[in-house]
Structure 1
Amino acid sequence: MSFSLNEMEATAKRATRGAGYSWGQAEEASKAARWLCAQGMDGAGALARLLTLGLASDLAAHRPRQVDGPWQGDGDLCPLSAGPLLSDCAHLLKTGPVELQAVVSPALLLPFAANAARVLKSCISIEIDGVRAVTDGDHLAAPDILPITARRVTVSQGVAPDVPRNRHTRAQPTLDDWAVLNRFAHRTYAPATEESRLLGAGAGLSDND
């Protein structure tokens, strides 16, 4: 399947909201998914896997309890909570690495690490259970497949990406992942009323024959 990045972003935003996240987090998620897709990564799959976990029902348990020392929550960390915090706390990387423990769908941290790179005007290295990615904010060097979950993610200042990934202008989600996103997105649509059904039917109850 192939969709424009705008279509990917719009669907991701509605899907995240439909999964129970705030509109603000939905905005963050949609931009993150789009950024990954633009880097040729599976942004749709990363987001679809996250939304199916249902973390939005108790987000307080899935955000970092503190930023001094390893970041961890009462449950697995949600990248839509930990990622924006990483971007906001980019200054912490000036004094050393930031470690996050037990992160689900960690690929979604990469766009927020890219934000941190732009803030610091420095390259950022993200190591996900030993698998390394590097971004300068615009470009990304990373393998095609990253761990689905991570026991430990280490974020630090690094060197420029050796071989950046080719940029993409379209998203290429799988049929299953796209269906998941649309299923969640459908929850944001207002249920049809009798009036809207009549308006959508064109002639309504009139008989022009």
Structure 2
Amino acid sequence: MTYALNEVEATAKKATRGAAYTWGLAEEAAKATRWLCAQGVDGCAVLAGLLRATDRATDMAPMSLDGDWASESGQLCALISGASLSDCAYRLPTGAIRMHNVVAPQLLLPFAAAAARHLGHPIAITWSGNTVIVSEAGLCTADIPAIDVADLVTVKTADASGQAVAQSTRAAPLATDWAYLNELAARTYAPATEESRLKGAGSGLSDND
């Protein structure tokens, strides 16, 4: 099945919150997932992979934004690191940002695109020997290397961007990933109470109505 990007964004937000991230980061995850899907990347698979690896995990934020980025737990969350990348975009013209052991590095791409818009300059992200270029117009590299954890991610300004890929208006996630995101999203729903049941749909009706 395919889903509208609005539905993807709403589900991603609830799923990320259900995985114990703050609402602020959940909003960032939702926008990032939608951005990936619009670029023709399976953003739902990327987010599902991140949330499977980080569900209720702790200490996955960069310990320091000076020098190389690393976490106390040994793995960096791409969502948290992406938000930090947005804050540190101003540093990129003077040197690369290096991150170690990044879970779901593809999720950094939307934040790099935001940095490109802020700087007015394309950004290059390299992991596992592959370089992906993003510009303010979007993703400029068609083939995105999929990997669960990148030992080293380097983010820097790029010399040129090339043409942005064609945009998609719908997403076609795998059924397993979509089901997992909805399973996490269900954690955000308040459990039903007797009062809410009485006020719910059909309340006050009898078989004789």
Classify the TM-score, shorter chain: over 0.9
C-alpha RMSD of matched pairs (Å): 1.6
CA distance, structure 2, for counterparts of residue 154 and residue 160 of structure 1:
17
Write out per-residue CA displacement over residues 102-139 of structure 1, whole angstroms, 9 at most, x where no aligned residue: 00001000001111111111000000121111011222
For residues 183 and 49 of structure 1, do their structure 2 counterparts lie closer, same or farther at Cα, with a shift above 3 Å needed? same
**Cα contact 2:132–2:144 (8 A) shared by 1:** no
CA distance, structure 2, for counterparts of residue 111 and residue 91 of structure 1:
16
After TM superposition, the runs of 4+ consecutive aligned structure 1 residues lying more than 6 A away are none
Identity of aligned residues (%): 51
CA distance, structure 2, for counterparts of residue 155 and residue 208 of structure 1:
67
Write out per-residue CA displacement over residues 55-106 of structure 1, whole angstroms, 9 at most, x where no aligned residue: 5441xx1111112221111120001111011111011111111110100001
Aligned pairs for 1:64-79 (under 5 A) are 64-75=62-73, 76-79=75-78
Larger deviation, residues 133-142 vs 169-178: 133-142
**Cα contact 1:87–1:112 (8 A) shared by 2:** yes
How far the C-alpha of 1:163 sits from its partner, in A, is 4.3
Aligned pairs for 1:56-205 (under 5 A) are 56-58=56-58, 61-75=59-73, 76-142=75-141, 143-200=143-200, 202-204=202-204
CA distance, structure 2, for counterparts of residue 161 and residue 94 of structure 1:
15
How far the C-alpha of 1:165 sits from its partner, in A, is 1.8
TM-score, normalised to structure 2, is: 0.93
Aligned residues: 207
For residues 157 and 202 of structure 1, do their structure 2 counterparts lie closer, same or farther at Cα, with a shift above 3 Å needed? same
**Cα contact 1:64–1:72 (8 A) shared by 2:** yes
How far the C-alpha of 1:203 sits from its partner, in A, is 4.8
For residues 201 and 92 of structure 1, do their structure 2 counterparts lie closer, same or farther at Cα, with a shift above 3 Å needed? closer
Write out per-residue CA displacement over residues 113-171 of structure 1, whole angstroms, 9 at most, x where no aligned residue: 11111111100000012111101122212314422210000001003333432110111
Larger deviation, residues 177-186 vs 130-139: 130-139
**Cα contact 1:71–1:101 (8 A) shared by 2:** yes
Larger deviation, residues 69-78 vs 32-41: 69-78
How far the C-alpha of 1:206 sits from its partner, in A, is 3.3
**Cα contact 1:134–1:158 (8 A) shared by 2:** yes
How far the C-alpha of 1:196 sits from its partner, in A, is 2.5
TM-score, normalised to structure 1, is: 0.93
**Cα contact 2:124–2:155 (8 A) shared by 1:** yes
Q: What SS is found at the alignment partner of 2:188?
A: coil
Q: Please tell me the residue identity of whatever aligns with 2:72.
A: D
For residues 181 and 55 of structure 1, do their structure 2 counterparts lie closer, same or farther at Cα, with a shift above 3 Å needed? closer
How far the C-alpha of 1:194 sits from its partner, in A, is 1.7
